[in-house]
Amino acid sequence: MKTTIKASNSEDSVAYETSEDIEVPDRLVDQIIGQEEAVETIKKAARQRRNVLLIGEPGVGKSMLAQSMAELLPPEELQDILVYPNLEDSNNPLIGALPAGEGKQIVMNHKAKSKGQEEKKNMFMILIIGLILVIGFMLQQYFVAIIAAGIVFLALNQMRPKTTVMVPKLLVNNENKKIAPFIDATGAHAGALLGDVRHDPYQSGGLGTPAHERVESGMIHRSHNGVLYIDEIGTMKMRTQQELLTAMQEGMYSITGQSETSSGAMVRSQAVPCDFVLVASGNIQVLEGMHIALRSRIRGYGYEVYMKDSMQDTPENRQKLAQFVAQEVKKDGRIPHFSKEAMDEIMLEAQRRAGKKDSLTLKLRDLGGLVRAAGDIAKGEAADYVTMDHVVKAKKLARTLEQQIADRYIVQKKKYRVFQSEGGQIGSVNGLAIIGDRSGILLPIAAEAAPAQSKQEGRIIATGKLGEIAKEAVQNVSALIKKHTGTDISNYDIHIQFLQAYEGVEGDSASVSVATAVVSALEEIPVDQSVALTGSLSIRGYVLPVGGVTGKIEAAAEAGIKKVLIPKSNMQDVMIESRYKDKIEIIPVETLSDVLKHALIGKGKKGLVDQMQKISEMVPRGIIPNPST
């Protein structure tokens, strides 16, 4: 029996055994999960025919929303659009709009009429030629008769095209359309978007295809009374955006040849209706490439929506995710349904991917990929249902490109001993970073301190993109170091190196690691190489939360690290896979002293940590005076 999912706050409300028991709503708008505000806006925008700008991460349902808007628009208003020849000025074809379904009829009627005319003309031609031949033969002027018949044949034939020219062309056909059109114009070039007139090499000789037949509708015309969707709108050429804006303002747009050197550019149709609703989308950077007037048009006559990328982990939202699994299975059509346990495993992954406390990811395109991968495995095994095991296997198999890079990177680094996972070493720290969305990676950092070469002041030498972060981290902690250890770093030149850092690494969470490496180098106290760390360091010595802790911890475990230090405030975000749980110890840290206590080893450690402890006890938490003042 199918169950409709109801909002409920109790865990017991889970009323399904498998995804088969969950009803998938018919309307696309009801299939959109977790974007309630965006859905409300789309509904409102559909009622008022307003434009919408959707900003958000990829795969959170932007194009789905746009498509669902088309379903909400009234289909009764749809029209067919015809282009007719203009007998007075053939380069200015005429346009006609009719209720949907009538266009084809008109074209057929014209064709029939033209065919009738043609037949009549053929008959007429046969008669004339026959007559000439008969008369000629009767007068025994065979040669003259044949020549005369040939000339008449050619002359009449020359006139023939003029009749066919009269048949109009169906430019936009909405026959039998039950819903308003949805046209995805993502990445379309000007011709495809705005319409075009084909080039005709014989045009000047009058032998070619008549101008009106060469007119091609654009996506803006085919989306008349429907939705025109453009993702990554900022990548569209400014000129094209400008033309798009004109089309939106006028609700009409003439079609002309887009290539200036083509004979099509001589042709310009009458204005063609294009009263579409624009749904534009992209990530936040897309706004930079967006035509200002176009943006302001949307803002003034429409809505802007910022899409969510995660939702609260509540029983109600888990039910919605279960509906999502059912939807994806149904949409795929080839994979088996999911058992309850398999769905639970998907929920767990949704939680992990959100990377935040009590949240479930809404990057559902990717999660859909996992659903399909698990389904494929189950299908390969001819299983009736997808089980938890299949999902676990799929997770290993369907690793993202970044995860695969991270895997290979670890193997390589291990092979060449770029980092160590045991023993102690001065100035070397196993930092952690993220590549791509959420793949953790080990980021070995090395620091060297040498007495300053310049008399006035020591330098901080760090190169590469991450170098800036390193310099900033050292500057931020210089006062702390002085306070904690009495060492003035301005007496030293400090070199910092990120060892074989991969290009795409995000390093802003490396400041705790950089500081640790520098303290170790300055004080000549070794760092425990079985420890890895992540965290952002405040100027007052507090360890602030960072992103991607789950991925980072898993990467550390993969690399054979035994202990990982993470900001205490990130503890609730830890959702590592169970296979890593026994491999690694997770230690929450709050201050730089905590970090050094766990990361340093050897003789000098105790003295340093004790000294630091003493200072932090003297200064009440949070009001350590700003060292620069």
From the list 5, 22, 29, 32, which residue makes contact with ligand ADP (rule: CB under 6 A)?
32
Please list the residues that pair with 533 across neighbouring strands.
Answer: 431, 565
Q: Shortest gap between Cβ of 364 and ligand ADP (angstroms)?
A: 4
Q: Strand pairing of 428-435 and 439-451? A: antiparallel
Q: Shortest gap between Cβ of 369 and ligand ADP (angstroms)?
A: 9
Q: Shortest gap between Cβ of 396 and ligand ADP (angstroms)?
A: 22
Between the CA of residue 99 and those of 32, 219, 232, what are the distances in Å?
Answer: 32, 19, 33
Are the C-beta atoms of 513 and 520 separated by less than 8 Å?
A: no
Between the CA of residue 390 and those of 123, 545, 598, what are the distances in Å?
Answer: 74, 34, 39
From the list 18, 22, 28, 61, which residue makes contact with ligand ADP (rule: CB under 6 A)?
61
63 binds ligand ADP (CB under 6 A): yes
Sign of dihedral through CA atoms 150, 153, 156, 162? negative
Exactly one of 308, 320, 552, 605 is catalytic; name it.
Answer: 552
Q: Shortest gap between Cβ of 67 and ligand ADP (angstroms)?
A: 8
Q: Where does this chain touch ligand ADP (CB under 6 A) — which range of 3-11, 61-69, 201-209, 398-406?
A: 61-69
Nearest-CB residue for ligand ADP? 61
Q: Strand pairing of 526-528 and 424-426? A: antiparallel
Choice between 307 and 477, CB closer to ligand ADP: 307
- Across 100-231, the runs of DSSP E, i.e. the strands, are 169-172, 182-184, 196-197, 215-216, 227-230
Whole-angstrom distance, CA of residue 556 vs CA of residue 171? 61
Are the C-beta atoms of 395 and 349 separated by less than 8 Å?
A: yes
Cα angle 526, 531, 535 (rounded to 5 degrees) comes to: 105
Q: Shortest gap between Cβ of 43 and ligand ADP (angstroms)?
A: 15
254 binds ligand ADP (CB under 6 A): no
62 binds ligand ADP (CB under 6 A): yes
From the list 35, 262, 497, 534, which residue makes contact with ligand ADP (rule: CB under 6 A)?
35
282 binds ligand ADP (CB under 6 A): no
| Beta-sheet strand order (sheet of 94-99) | 94-99, 79-84, 169-172
Q: Which helix (H) or strand (E) holds 207?
A: none
308 binds ligand ADP (CB under 6 A): no
Q: Shortest gap between Cβ of 398 and ligand ADP (angstroms)?
A: 15
> Is 44 tagged catalytic?
no
Q: Which helix (H) or strand (E) holds 338?
A: none
Residue 294, SS3 per DSSP: helix
Whole-angstrom distance, CA of residue 264 vs CA of residue 197? 5
From the list 34, 136, 440, 535, which residue makes contact with ligand ADP (rule: CB under 6 A)?
34
From the list 16, 324, 492, 498, which residue makes contact with ligand ADP (rule: CB under 6 A)?
324
Exactly one of 63, 439, 478, 509 is catalytic; name it.
Answer: 509
Site for ligand ADP in 329-388 (CB under 6 A): 362, 364-365, 368
Q: Shortest gap between Cβ of 33 and ligand ADP (angstroms)?
A: 4
From the list 59, 210, 226, 526, which residue makes contact with ligand ADP (rule: CB under 6 A)?
59
> Is 552 tagged catalytic?
yes
Q: Which residue has the tokens 């102690």?
A: 424
Between the CA of residue 42 and those of 49, 75, 558, what are the distances in Å?
Answer: 10, 17, 45
Which residues, in sequence order, are CB contacts of 372 under 8 Å at separation 6+? Answer: 328, 332, 335
Q: Where does this chain touch ligand ADP (CB under 6 A) — which range of 57-65, 168-176, 383-391, 424-432?
A: 57-65
Q: Shortest gap between Cβ of 541 and ligand ADP (angstroms)?
A: 41
226 binds ligand ADP (CB under 6 A): no
33 binds ligand ADP (CB under 6 A): yes
Q: Where does this chain touch ligand ADP (CB under 6 A) — which range of 30-38, 45-53, 141-149, 611-619?
A: 30-38
Number of residues that bind ligand ADP (CB under 6 A): 18
| Residues recognised as catalytic | 509, 552
Kindly list the residues in this chain that would bind ligand ADP in the complex (CB under 6 A): 31-35, 58-64, 324, 328, 362, 364-365, 368
